[in-house]
Amino acid sequence: MSNSRLDKLLEMLEKQPRDPFLLYAVGFEYEAAGQDGLAMEYYSLILQHQPGYLPVYYQAGLLQANMGNSAGAIELLNKGIELAKLHKDKKTENELRMALEEME
């Protein structure tokens, strides 16, 4: 796949391998390219090493649902809701709740 944005992100990621924004952006690029498995690998790295990075719960939850793993999606969305409550981030909490309701 030739994607200059992805290439640039991967280059930056080499210098900052645990940066959650870069991992998220790379995952998002892979997801946009239809490479869901690779996308989930990058989202999983964030969940493993930076579990406080709130945006990943929404995106990874939707991706899990699209990949046919509704149980995994529900788990991620619920964890995101709890984290959003902890951060008092009502907007994100509501977005996660709406995504969860659409799944049920």
Query: Which residue from 54, 72, 60, 52 is spatially nearest to 28, judged by alpha carbons?
Result: 60
Q: Which pLDDT belongs to residue 1?
A: 46
Q: How confident is the model at residue 104 (pLDDT cuts 50, 70, 90)?
A: confident
Query: Is the confidence at residue 52, as pLDDT, over 60?
Result: yes
Instruction: Confirm if 43 and 62 have CB atoms less than 8 A apart.
Output: no
pLDDT digits 0-9 by tens, 3-37: 799 999 999 999 999 999 999 999 999 999 999 99
Q: How many helices (H) and strands (E) does the chain have?
A: 6, 0
What pTM did the predictor assign?
0.91
In this structure, how many other beta carbons lie within 10 angstroms of the beta carbon of residue 45? 19
Q: Which pLDDT belongs to residue 7?
A: 95
Number of domains in the chain: 1
In this structure, how many other beta carbons lie within 10 angstroms of the beta carbon of residue 74? 17
Query: Is the confidence at residue 2, as pLDDT, over 80?
Result: no
Q: Which pLDDT belongs to residue 29?
A: 96
| CB-based contacts of 98, cutoff 8 Å, min separation 6 | none
Domain span holding position 64: 4-103
Q: Which DSSP category does 16 fall into? A: S
Cα–Cα distance measured from residue 17 to residue 96, given in angstroms and rounded to the nearest whole number: 27
Instruction: Determine the average pLDDT of the residues in 73-99.
Output: 97
CATH number for 13: 1.25.40.10
